[in-house]
Copies of this chain bind each other. A is one copy, B any other.
Amino acid sequence: MEEDAQHEQASPEVQKRIQESFDRQGLMGHLGARISHIGPGRVHIVLPGRPEVTQQDGYFHAGATSAVADTAGGYAAFTLFPEDTAVLTVEYKVNLLAPAVGEYIEAVGTVLKPGRTLTVCRLEVFSVKDDQRKLVATGQQTLICVS
């Protein structure tokens, strides 16, 4: 994973559309998540570590990890959708590769295959601890564009 600054930015209109939708997601605000990058077909979301997002051993809960992964993939697809459409997750699958600990995790959703009806995304989640970036989850997601 490179620095965000190296990634292409989406148009201001698309960035605004994504950010406004994200701000309406009660869950993301409640978890403390924020968008860290919006590019064409690619969205990053950061979730800081704190007791409210942990499982029983103090790691990031798989549910929190996959909530931000699902959201990153959904908005990555949404950057490529026409105006006046909405995005819904059809399904996703995620492998938890390692316990996630650290200052924060960053979910990266990337469109693998855009489509008029269905879009497929890759989901990756990295933990960041003492400037060390580690892949802690990887997944695949199918989304549908609805009018």
**A95 with B117: CB separation less than 8 A:** no
Query: Interface size (A, Cβ < 8 Å)?
Result: 53
- Of all chain B residues, which has the CB nearest A22? B56
Segment touching B, from A5-13, A63-71, A125-133: A63-71
Q: How many copies does the complex hold?
A: 4
Interface residues of A, dominant DSSP: mixed
Distance between Cα atoms of A29 and B118 in the complex (Å): 31
Chain A 65-79, CB-CB to B under 8 Å as 1, else 0, gives 011101100100000
Chain A: residues with CB nearer than 8 A to chain B?
Answer: 21-22, 24-31, 50-57, 61-64, 66-68, 70-71, 74, 86, 88-99, 112-113, 117-118, 120, 122, 135, 138-140, 142, 144
